[in-house]
Structure 1
Amino acid sequence: MRHDTPVFPRSLAAPLRRSVRALAIGAMAACTLGLIAPQAHAADKIIIMVGGINKLIYLPPKLAESLGYFKDEGLDVELQSQPAGVDAENELLAGAVQAVVGFYDHSIDLQSKGKEVTSITQLLRVPGGMEMVRADLADSVHSMADLKGRTLGVTGLGSSSSFLAQYLAARAGLKSGDYSMLPVGAGNTLIAAMKQKRVDVAWTTEPTTSILLASGAAKVLVDMSTVEGTKAALGGLYPASSVYVHRSWMNSHKAEAQKLARAFVKTLKYIQTHSAEDIAEKMPKDYYGGNKAIYVQALKASLPMYSPDGKMPAGGPEQVLKVMAGFNPNIKGKNIDLAKTYTNEFVDAAQ
């Protein structure tokens, strides 16, 4: 007799076989119904669309990936890029991605259209960019009031850059018909549009602003890369880059939303505690635009714009709503529920 073979009394053998069979059938049914997740299956992939992944205003997602913070949270994250935030927004609405890194103001714009997205982590306290004028026009264009009959370059129609341009023009006394807007993307396509004189003024961010200034191709018209400059231009803070998701996805994926927020909060803390040189070393070399020194210089100047903790700054949503209502008739006078456009729930838990 083999001593490794268990022996049961005949009176117990049949009931035991029936119990084992019942357990096996139950387990198979549970797997079929999705009650027990097979161990071999990885976590569902989360695709994050970024409105221009090599822009410094959208640096945190790539930095989080490079530091391994998504993997530390057990997340399978894929980063994708679109040239403008409005394109990323459209991907989210189409259900092609689960999250977007783009400007918070889209959550207000979308709610006015009957769609609900919610920012779960705030990455920037200010827009982090500039309206820049072509160098050959700098003597005649001193402010947004001088743009009558001229062309403004924006990343895309319906993008946050177009929101800001329209508000600044309206604040300067211009009507929408006094100027035209041309979508020119960002980076090299924007620089080409400036050099080819297809636009007179354009919104851009680092490192493109530093490249334009270093080459002498453009000068600063309105600076919203700092807290002081943003308050002077807009009348208050303008929380910009954020991680936003469908509100329905957030409510049905609380665990994933919490892990995303924790990864981004850790990334923001890394930015606060490391030098521009350290951070640049974690980024892909093709982000440098062929000039690492300018990239590091631009990053060093940009560090104060990042949120220290991922929280929505007090008064920020109200200020963004004020700006949006200042030029958009679809928002002015409409009842916007700001409490649904952002939440600090996840970043508070991540601290």
Structure 2
Amino acid sequence: MRSSAKFSAAAVAAALALTTLTACGGDSDSGGDGKVKIMVGGLDKVIYMPAMLTQRLGYFKSEGLKVQLLTEPAGVQATTSLIAGDVQGVVGFYDHTLDLQVKGKQVESVVQLAQAPGEVEVVSNKAAGEMKSPKDFKGKKLGVTGLGSSTDFLTKYLAVDGGVKTSEFTPVAVGAGQTFISALKQGSIQGGMTTDPTVAQIVEQKIGKVLIDMRTPEGSKQALGGLYPSSSLYMNTDWVNGHKETVQKLANAFVKTLKWMSTHSAEDIAAKMPSDYAQGGAKLYAEAIKSTLPMFTKDGVMPSDGPATVERVLKAFNPNLKNATVDLKKTYTTEFVEKAG
């Protein structure tokens, strides 16, 4: 996350413009009446599917919660909204909690939705001959959702791990979905990191190929050396401590969804989601869900070795974290998911 204070207002304004739901800013003390606003780093991304699915299954409502889901195309802007106090929670990548801690902000994952990034590094067909691994990132323009986002973090790690300095390639903020696909088609990027359903559409349209696949625990271990907890519900620690009953209800709802996902097919899940999420067609959308399903946890519990992997990955390229001491125990809690039925 970069200079959050500078673009906080702009990011929040963009977030509100991007969603069909209305919201009142600065409502950081919500929660006591069951009203909670959650910003999602891309509601239609399969990696963040549990947020909308929980609402569609009626699990928020059955817990007595009135949850308003807002959307932002990149996780870094979602984080800005949380720090500004305009939302009470974010469904985004866990790695932001470490990045924020060294900047003096105490944020924690309360439900760990995923144990692998769910991200894929794709390469355009045109550049596929010269880009066969991260060693070939040098001199390339690579798409990320936003600068300071988790796709940016992971791209930098893969580069450094492949012997390429972060100054030797250019990350380009191209969002996800159609904006990412357009950038790849036009050649303004040679490759980039994105998620399903964008990956499925790129492969289906034959405009690019999968270079590195981190949609499964195995893929995460191969690329990053371990499980990489990613999608999570994270919140300001002070807010969590002051609204434990509400947080418990949120955890109950999300854990029910994770259990439901683990016992239903990709087609069943696709049928519950808004129809406009299946931009490449229902069949392709179900395939995208199927490819990504292995990343999700079944119980919302943080994998025991996950936080250390995230810290190692971030320290490999992030100058803010390199020499900083991170208290990993303060970046997540299992208190609520362990009580969830």
**TM (normalized to structure 1)?**
0.87
Alignment partner of 1:219 is 2:209 = yes
Contact residue 34 and residue 246 of structure 2 kept, 8 A: no
Alignment-derived partner of residue 290 in structure 2: 300
TM-superposed deviation, 1:333: 2.2
- Structure-1 separation of matches of 2:73 and 2:237: 24
Alignment partner of 1:90 is 2:80 = yes
Local SS of the residue matching 1:77:
strand
Indicate how the Cα distance of structure 1 residues 259 and 248 shifts in structure 2: closer, same or farther if over 3 A, else same. same
Matched AA of 2:299: D
Alignment partner of 1:157 is 2:147 = yes
Of 111, 115, 120, the match for 1:125: 115
- Structure-2 separation of matches of 1:304 and 1:199: 28
Local SS of the residue matching 1:177:
helix
Alignment-derived partner of residue 4 in structure 2: none
Local SS of the residue matching 2:320:
coil
Alignment-derived partner of residue 207 in structure 1: 197
Q: Which has the larger radius of gyration?
A: 1
Alignment-derived partner of residue 101 in structure 1: 91
Alignment-derived partner of residue 19 in structure 1: none
TM-superposed deviation, 1:278: 1.0
Alignment-derived partner of residue 147 in structure 1: 137
Alignment partner of 1:43 is 2:33 = yes
Of 155, 160, 169, the match for 1:179: 169
Alignment-derived partner of residue 62 in structure 2: 72
State the percentage of identical aligned residues: 53
- Structure-1 separation of matches of 2:86 and 2:302: 26
- Structure-1 separation of matches of 2:305 and 2:326: 15
Alignment-derived partner of residue 259 in structure 1: 249
Contact residue 34 and residue 64 of structure 2 kept, 8 A: no
Matched AA of 1:186: A
Alignment-derived partner of residue 43 in structure 2: 53
- Structure-2 separation of matches of 1:192 and 1:148: 22
Alignment-derived partner of residue 62 in structure 1: 52
- Structure-1 separation of matches of 2:290 and 2:227: 21
Alignment-derived partner of residue 30 in structure 1: none
Contact residue 118 and residue 214 of structure 2 kept, 8 A: yes
Instruction: State the Cα RMSD in Å.
Output: 0.9
Alignment-derived partner of residue 23 in structure 2: none
- Structure-2 separation of matches of 1:194 and 1:47: 34
Alignment partner of 1:138 is 2:139 = no
TM-superposed deviation, 1:334: 1.0
| CA distances 1:169-224 after superposition (whole Å, capped 9, x unpaired) | 00011112111111000001000110111111110101110110111101111111
Local SS of the residue matching 2:160:
helix
Matched AA of 1:207: P
Contact residue 108 and residue 330 of structure 2 kept, 8 A: yes
Local SS of the residue matching 1:137:
coil
Contact residue 94 and residue 231 of structure 2 kept, 8 A: yes
Local SS of the residue matching 1:330:
helix
Aligned residues: 310
Gap regions ≥5 residues in structure 1: 1-41
Alignment-derived partner of residue 231 in structure 1: 221
Of 101, 115, 124, the match for 2:105: 115
- Structure-2 separation of matches of 1:78 and 1:141: 42
Structure 1 segments, 4+ long, off by >6 Å, are none
TM-superposed deviation, 1:301: 1.9
Alignment partner of 1:189 is 2:179 = yes
- Structure-2 separation of matches of 1:242 and 1:156: 18
TM-superposed deviation, 1:303: 1.6
- Structure-2 separation of matches of 1:68 and 1:248: 28
Indicate how the Cα distance of structure 1 residues 44 and 229 shifts in structure 2: closer, same or farther if over 3 A, else same. closer
Matched AA of 2:197: P
Indicate how the Cα distance of structure 1 residues 44 and 347 shifts in structure 2: closer, same or farther if over 3 A, else same. closer
Of 160, 170, 173, the match for 1:170: 160
Alignment partner of 1:334 is 2:286 = no
| CA distances 1:59-105 after superposition (whole Å, capped 9, x unpaired) | 00100000110010001100000000001000000000000000000
**TM (normalized to structure 2)?**
0.90
Gap regions ≥5 residues in structure 2: 1-31
Local SS of the residue matching 2:126:
helix
- Structure-2 separation of matches of 1:244 and 1:256: 14
Local SS of the residue matching 1:186:
coil
Alignment-derived partner of residue 5 in structure 1: none
Alignment-derived partner of residue 315 in structure 2: 325
